Amino acid sequence: MIRLRHSMGILLATLLVQTPAWSEEFPKRPVTFLVPFPAGTATDVIARIVGNELSNKWGQSVVVDNRPGAGGNIGSESAAKAKADGYTVLWATVANSISTTLYKNLQYNFRDDFDAVTLVTKLPLVLVTNQSRNYGTVPDMVEFSKGHKEALTFGSGGVGTSNHLAGEMLNALSGTEMVHVPYKGTPNAYSDLIADRISVMFDNIVPAMVQIKTGKLKPLAVASLDRSPQLPNVPTMNESGYPGFEAVSWLAMVVPHGTPVDIVEKINRDAVAVLNDPKVQEKMTTFGAEAEPGTPAELDAFIDNEITKWAKVIKQANVTVQ
């Protein structure tokens, strides 16, 4: 699991012999939110919302540093090498839990090089298809596939992305043989889905809702454990016959491993307070995100489960990247 060590004996012993808490003076200078994706992405926007509120609370600037590239690995590697003092916070995503297995030569280890702070949000993936398709539910689609071997295709934003792996997970659980069609980014995949050149696609609920609202696409199921408030009449994958099927885009705050425990706890405490603020929640819901803050231990368990889940899918489907 990601190395959450604030309860371990060594650190406990250290804390017992230290009198002043580091967190009493933290932060004394600007804090960097390292976002491993471009400006304008959901990760970036939410990081700026939270950063602005924490800046007001701390009386120090929170600087968002965008370092995109290699599926989030360039920024993540940079954060892993940062000083473990609380002044660098990585905005981790589902891509980190996938990269752990997918890439063999990473220059950082997501399990070992970071300590958990808090989950920020989970955005469910939605399985969408063209309005012209005869099937309107996942069971209908699976039944259709039985009589049309290899007739179904599913798009994604690229090999190893969460929407690719969600499709592979459905293949494994349903026995379908949907053919994966990778694109250079989901916008290109949407173009072909709207033109009915591919059959279905899993994608983040935020961009999916844009196409659903225009009537160009229809949802078959949401890949969260509970129904989405944005699509209350659309069943979950669980309700569609696949118990426990969960594929979500998530955001979380983590810090370099070895960051003093009381600083981790202070960042957690203040970030949770911000994420529970109705004003912040309202800003997040305008583009489909719901705040889901929690404890470091809860995030630790969640990430460990995500790494295990996606590792199984990657190995079963023999997914590789160049």
Q: How far is CA 1 from CA 12, 106, 114, in A?
A: 20, 17, 10
Between helices 186-194 and 205-213, what is the axis angle to 10°? Answer: 30
The pTM score is: 0.88
Q: Read off the tokens for 106.
A: 């990473």
Q: How far is CA 143 from CA 127, 190, 223, in A?
A: 16, 24, 19
Q: How many residues does the chain have?
A: 322
| C-alpha to C-alpha distance for 238 and 249, rounded to whole angstroms | 17
| C-alpha to C-alpha distance for 312 and 228, rounded to whole angstroms | 26
pLDDT for 255-291, tens place per residue?
999 999 999 999 999 999 999 999 999 999 877 788 9
pLDDT of residue 161: 94
Burial 261-286, CB ≥16 within 10 A → b, else e: bbbbbbbbebbbebbeeeebbebbee
pLDDT for 163-197, tens place per residue?
999 999 999 999 999 999 999 989 999 999 999 99
Reading the chain (322 residues) residue by residue, the pLDDT tens digits are 555 444 444 444 444 444 355 567 899 999 999 999 999 888 999 999 999 999 999 999 999 999 999 889 999 999 999 999 999 999 999 999 999 999 988 999 999 999 999 999 999 999 999 999 999 999 999 999 887 766 899 999 999 999 999 999 999 999 999 999 999 989 999 999 999 999 999 999 989 999 999 999 999 999 999 999 899 999 999 999 999 999 999 999 999 999 999 999 999 999 999 999 999 999 998 777 889 999 999 999 999 999 999 999 999 999 998 7
Residue 36 and residue 108 in contact, taking contact as beta carbons nearer than 8 Å? no
Preceding amide of 124 cis, omega within 30? no
Domains detected in the chain: 31-123+248-317 (3.40.190.150), 124-240 (3.40.190.10)
